[in-house]
Amino acid sequence: MIATSIKLDAFTKVIEEIDKMIVELKDQQADEVKHRDFCIAELNKNTLQMDEAHAKRDSLEANIADMQATIKKLAENIETTKKEIAEMEVEMKRAGEDRAAENADYQQTVNDHRITQEILKKALQRMKQVYKSLLQGEPATPPVHFQPYKKNAGGSPVISLMEQIVEDSKKVEAEAIQAENEAQAAYEGFVKTANESISANEAAILSKSKAIAAAETERETAFSKKADTEVELEDLATYAADLHTQCDFLLKNFDIRQSRRDDEVEALEASKGILSGAGR
């Protein structure tokens, strides 16, 4: 009886230790399942976050490239517009110089014709007076002896010719005035159009300069966000490395470890059964 009692006490302690081992193994199994679930969830989350961060960085890089292209194009457009303004100003200057030269020619032409007309009018008046006197009778005897005065049969045609010349001169003067008015109107129209074009181009330059400033601001913001995203990617990569250190072995050997631990629990249960039976 004493021997049997000692034997039963020894088996009871062993069985208690076996129970403890079984509980510990099952706790390990449960902990390992939790750890596996954690690893899978965190690795999936990390992969998703990295994919999102990469997509964000790619989008920011595309935005930066777009802004740089926009800035370059706007700057080129501004330079082209400035050249157009400069060319227009040169054309206006030349047109002004040409107009001044044309006006000087006009003034000279009109002045010449008016002088011509004045001279011819005076000559006509004188000739008409002479012919009028001839028609009324012979002039008084001159103080100096001249040949007898005879009426020039061609006198009337000369007057007609001179009158025709005066009329032609007036016509030329009128045509010059009309041409001057038309040229001045054309010049004023050109200057008005040119000034409007210059004003429009200057407004376009101002608008494009503002667009460049906005694009530069957007580009700098994108650069800043890209830098933040790259830091985020580095942190995610570091965390991913830590996860792989913690999880790769577990995930690779999870099924084997679980199976072997189950086998161990089974063996302990069997041993426990044997010991319990032997103690009876």
Ordered structural domains, the chain, with CATH:
2-90+179-278 (1.10.287.950)
Using pLDDT thresholds of 50, 70 and 90, give the confidence band for residue 280. low
Average pLDDT over residues 56-67: 97
Task: Select the more confidently predicted residue: 99 or 8.
Answer: 99
- Flag whether the pTM goes above 0.75: no
Q: Is the pLDDT of residue 278 over 70?
A: no
pLDDT over 90 percentage in the chain: 62
pLDDT at 65: 97
d(CA 64, CA 40): 36
Q: Is the pLDDT of residue 11 over 90?
A: no
pLDDT at 134: 65
Average pLDDT over residues 20-30: 90
Q: Is the pLDDT of residue 265 over 70?
A: yes
